[in-house]
Amino acid sequence: MGKPDEVAAASIAPSPGSSYPCTIITQLTGGSSKSKSLDVNARYGWEADIEKSPSLRHALPMKQRLMIVVLALLGPAACHGPQPTYEADCSVPPASFGTAKEGIGHLTPLVEATIDHAGAIKWAGNSVSIRDFESYVIRAGELLPMPQLILNPSPDAPCESVERVRTILEKAEICKADGRWCSEGHDPKNWPIVGGP
């Protein structure tokens, strides 16, 4: 039996336009190479190279198992590249949400919800979990007078967190009520006051 192949190098490169956008290529010590595409949604192009190191020198009984080792070493998150952020990548706010143009209702209490760069949520300046946020939104719809909720994500807030918060708001009764009780945008304290005398 021949000596089992070792991984001499491993690289990952994007495959633009393919339904398998991330390709992993392994270079074996014998000079041959293998490649395998991963079915992931990699929106950004990037490249990472790993040179021969003790952690990659795996003597394997079968070449077919090399890919499993490389995947385990690199980690599944690698293929996703930079995380999509609010200002650059997120979808537009739901059509039912108000904006700075619609302003804030005259004498309407204001509750601002923010999302920071790490996806952490604050309700009226206080850090809350996503579960507590949902609970507060439900309670807000039961208050008299009913407050106007304004979602104000940081420009670098992760789109995933923004979408989760938007989904909660869209399903809430307060955001379905007549009028613009749920809004999204920056700097709400400087929004115009509307509906006053």
165-174 confidence digits (pLDDT tens)? 999 999 999 9
Number of domains in the chain: 2
Mean pLDDT of the region 26-39: 47
**Looking at the domain assignment, is residue 165 inside a domain?**
yes
Q: Using one digit for the tens of pLDDT, what is the confidence trace for 62-105?
A: 443 444 444 444 444 445 557 899 999 999 999 999 999 999 99
- Let me know whether 146 and 170 are in one domain: yes
Let me know if residue 107 belongs to a domain.
yes
Six token digits for residue 61: 């009984």
Residue 15 has pLDDT above 70, yes or no: no
Q: What is residue 136's DSSP assignment?
A: H
How high is the pLDDT of residue 2? 53
Q: Kindly provide the residue ranges of all beta strands, DSSP E only, lying in 68-194, ordered along the sequence.
A: 104-105, 110-115, 121-123, 126-128, 148-153, 182-184, 193-194
Instruction: Identify the band that residue 157 occupies on the pLDDT scale cut at 50, 70 and 90.
Output: very high
117 and 21 part of one domain: no
| Sequence-separated contacts (24+) of 15-19 with Cβ below 8 Å | 16/45
Domain end: 80, 96, 124, which one?
80
Q: What is the DSSP string of 87-114?
A: HHHPPPPPTTSB-TTT-EETT--EEEEE
Regarding whether 73 and 41 lie in a shared domain, the answer is: yes
The candidate with the shortest Cα–Cα distance to 60, out of 129, 99, 8, is 8
Residue 69 lies in a domain: yes
Residues 15 and 69 in one domain: yes
Query: Model pTM?
Result: 0.62
In this prediction, residue 133 has a pLDDT band, given cuts at 50, 70 and 90, of: very high
Instruction: Name the E strands within the chain.
Output: 7-14, 22-28, 33-38, 48-50, 104-105, 110-115, 121-123, 126-128, 148-153, 182-184, 193-194
* pLDDT of 41 strictly over 60: no
Closest CA to 152 of 195, 192, 113: 113
Residues 95 and 155 in one domain: yes
Task: Count other Cβ atoms within 10 Å, centred on residue 174.
Answer: 21
Range(s) of the domain holding residue 68: 7-80
Instruction: Please give the single-letter amino acid code of residue 157.
Output: A
Buried b (16+ CB within 10 A) or exposed e, 21-54: bbbbebebeeeeebeeebeeebeeeeeeebeeee
